[in-house]
Amino acid sequence: MDIFEILLSASFWTAAIRIASPLIFATLGELICERAGVLNLGIEGIMVAGAFAGWMAVYSGTGLWMGVAVAMAVGMLFGLVHSLLTVPFGLSQHVVGLGVTLLATSLTYYAYRLALPEVTSPPKIEAFQPYEVPFLSDIPLIGPALFAQTPLTYLAFILVGVVGLVLYRTPLGLALRAVGENPSAVAAQGLSVTGIRMGAVIVGSGLMAVGGAFLTMSAFDSFFFEMVNGRGWICIALVVFGAWKPGKALLGAVLFAAFDALQIRVQQMPLGADIPYQVFLMMPYFLSILALIVMSRRAEVPAALMVPFNKGER
């Protein structure tokens, strides 16, 4: 098979969309935080926590959707910790974010060890299964790629639209975009800067956790250490690549995932046989850095990103 055949195969695009799904959730989550002016470096740890919490909930007997809700709630809890420290107290978003990642990761691993003290390989759950949308899934190429996915993938795509609508078509989105640009504009209209920012970080963190849960509940059916493996950091690059816009971020996530799916396949081709597999595994990270370099010139960063707001500063 050559590369063109791969690019025209349905299984390739099915995989790409699957790989993109957790990134979409987490990128949307980060985008909401950053639009409100808060960089959330807790993303990596929150994804780990979400992956574990959702899976553990299902393993202990709740339904799959309940598992997603549990993951979301756990993510929101870490979002609360992050936003309490960075918003009203205005602490360094770098330090707090890394601290939250460390906290979420270590708490997760601790909980895992407590819950399953003696296992060598983690147990499996009954994960989300692909649901073929009638008729639409029969369309060649696009059908299997877009309409034979698990419900969580559909949810990811729907969320892109929802977040876009909220951001640009509702009073809440107006306030959110304003608070990341000039918080005093929001304060002067009698709205609470602290409230909006904290809300954004909490909801955004919830979405990050769902992105993590996708890994254990849809992409795979089990929880492993290191399974998030830098996806959180990649999502931060995707937000920049998407110029803080949901639609472009979706495009970035799909492109990125397509590239990732491609490198897996090229590894198995004769062309890839002589190249160490690590080179392929490095590609996504290089691609992220490249995206940052390309976009850094023209991106419109929210003006108040990483700038704490202290009411009545003299």
Partner 1 sequence: MRLEPVANPSLLRTTVPPAIAIGSTVVIASLLAMAAGANPFSVLGLILKGAFGSKFALLETLNRATPLIFTGLSVAVAFRARLWNIGAEAQLYAGALITVVLGTGLLQWGAFALLPTLVIASVLAGALVLLVPALLKVRFGVDEVVTTLLFNFIFLLFISMLLEGPLKDPMGMGWPKSERLISEARLPRIVDGLRLHWGFALALIAAVVVWVIERRTTLGYEMRAVGLNREAAGFAGIPVNTVLIKTALLSGGLAALAGFSEVAGLKGNLTLDLSPGFGYTGIVVAMLALLNPLAVIAAALFVAGIFVGADSMSRAVGVPSYLADIMLATALLLMVLAILLTRFRVVRE
Partner 2 sequence: MTGAEAAQVVLRLDSITKRFGKLVANDAVSLSLREGEVIALLGENGAGKTTLMNILFGQYTADEGAVEVFGQTLPPGNPRAALDAGVGMVHQHFTLADNMTVLENITLGTRSLFSPRLDRAAARDKLAKLSADFGLQVHPDARVGSLTVGERQRVEILKALYRDARILILDEPTAVLTPQETEDLFATLRKAVKLGLSVVFISHKLHEVMAISDRVLILRHGRLVAERPIAEVDEETLAALMVGSEVSAPRVAAGQPGAALLRLHEVTTPDRGSAPGLKRVSLSLHGGQITGLAGVSGNGQGELADLIGGLTGPDTGRLELDGAHLQSWSPREAVHAGIARIPEDRHKTGTIAEFDLIENAILESYARPPYSRSGWMNWGRAEAFTREIIDTYDVRCPGPGTRIRLLSGGNMQKLILGRVLEADPRIILANQPVRGLDIGAVNYVHSQLLAARDRGAAVLLISEDLDEIMALSDVIHVISEGRLSPGFARGTMTPAELGVWMAGQGFEKETAHAS
Binding site for partner 1 (CB under 8 A): 41, 81, 85, 88-92, 94-96, 98-100, 102-103, 105-107, 109-110, 113-114, 117, 229-230, 233-234, 236-237, 240, 276, 278-279, 281-282, 285-286, 288-289, 292-293, 296-297, 310-312
Return the number of the residue (60 or 310) whose C-beta is nearest partner 2: 310
**Residue 111: how many other CB atoms lie within 10 Å:** 14
Return the number of the residue (47 or 179) whose C-beta is nearest partner 2: 179
Q: CB of 186: closest distance to partner 2 in angstroms?
A: 7
Q: Cα dist. 312→23, 78, 253, 287, 309 in Å? A: 39, 28, 40, 43, 9
- Using the 8-state DSSP alphabet, how is residue 62 labeled? -
Q: Which of 6, 7, 10, 185 is close enough to bind partner 2 by CB under 8 A?
A: 185
Tell me the torsion sign for CA atoms 95, 198, 228, 225.
Answer: positive
Q: Does residue 303 touch partner 2 according to CB under 8 A?
A: yes
From residue 189 to residue 218, the character string flagging contacts with partner 2 as x (rule: CB under 8 A) and all else as - is xxx----x----------------------
- Using the 8-state DSSP alphabet, how is residue 121 labeled? S
- For residues 285 and 291, give the distance between their C-alpha atoms in angstroms, rounded to a whole number: 10
**Residue 303: how many other CB atoms lie within 10 Å:** 11
Total of residues contacting partner 2 (CB under 8 A): 25
Return the number of the residue (7 or 292) whose C-beta is nearest partner 1: 292
- Torsion angles phi and psi, residue 222, rounded to 5: -155, 165
- Cβ atoms of 295 and 241 within 8 Å: the answer is yes
CB neighbour list of residue 153: distance below 8 Å, 6 or more residues apart: 17, 18, 21, 214, 218
Q: Does residue 92 touch partner 2 according to CB under 8 A?
A: no
169 binds, among partner 2, partner 1, none (CB under 5 to 8 A by kind): partner 2
Q: CB of 156: closest distance to partner 2 in angstroms?
A: 22
107 binds, among partner 1, partner 2, none (CB under 5 to 8 A by kind): partner 1
Q: Which of 170, 268, 296, 310 is close enough to bind partner 2 by CB under 8 A?
A: 170
CA 219 to chain centre: 14
Tokens 């963190």 identify what position?
Answer: 205
What are the DSSP E strand ranges found in 47-150?
131-132, 148-149
Q: Does residue 20 touch partner 2 according to CB under 8 A?
A: no
* Site for partner 2, rule CB under 8 A: 169-172, 174-175, 177-178, 181-182, 184-191, 196, 300, 302-303, 311-312, 314
